[in-house]
Amino acid sequence: MIERYAHLSGTEAKTRILEHKGLLPKDQETKNVLQPRTCPNPVCQAQNTFDSKSCIRCGFIFSFEERQRQRQDQEAKDREVQELKEQFNVIRSEMNDVLEVLNIAKSKDGMLGKDRTMLDEKGRVTFGYVDNNNHIVEVKIPLNGVEIDKGASPSK
């Protein structure tokens, strides 16, 4: 009977008791940190570090959690790109309005009617708006320096 238990050290006996009580998974596999991780992709079979989340050669993702994280990152980037496109379209629309006003001002030498001008004393068209901090922002564009190309078509 002594031969049966003679090979167990104190740590091994403790581990077996914990496994028997269900507190430690049975046959707990230890990872050798020096052992490279082989890519499961049959075409690739590249050697990666043991803690790699994806293959360095083909990009194969080793864990479901990493795939989910990459998918969430890509979705966040896609949302950001969409928001930037929407902002760009708003700016483009606003710039078209500015160009239309400048075109009118240029064609009528800055006059709105017989006695009213859209130009200030220095010959500039002024555009104003209130920013997010409730400050008035004015953009003054000198009309004599504006060239309007009527033959160009808008690019999308």
- pLDDT tens profile 44-97: 999 988 888 889 999 888 888 888 988 999 999 999 999 999 999 998 988 888
Burial 11-48 (b: 16+ CB within 10 A, else e): eeeeeeeeeeeeeeeeeeeeeeeeeeeebeeeeeebeb
Closest CA to 39 of 13, 9, 69, 62: 62
When the pLDDT of each residue in the chain is averaged and rounded to a whole number, the result is 76
How many other CB atoms are there within 10 angstroms of residue 125's CB atom? 21
At 141, the pLDDT band (50, 70, 90 cuts) reads confident
Most confident of 28-42, 73-87, 127-141: 73-87
Question: What is the mean predicted confidence (pLDDT) over 100-124?
Answer: 69
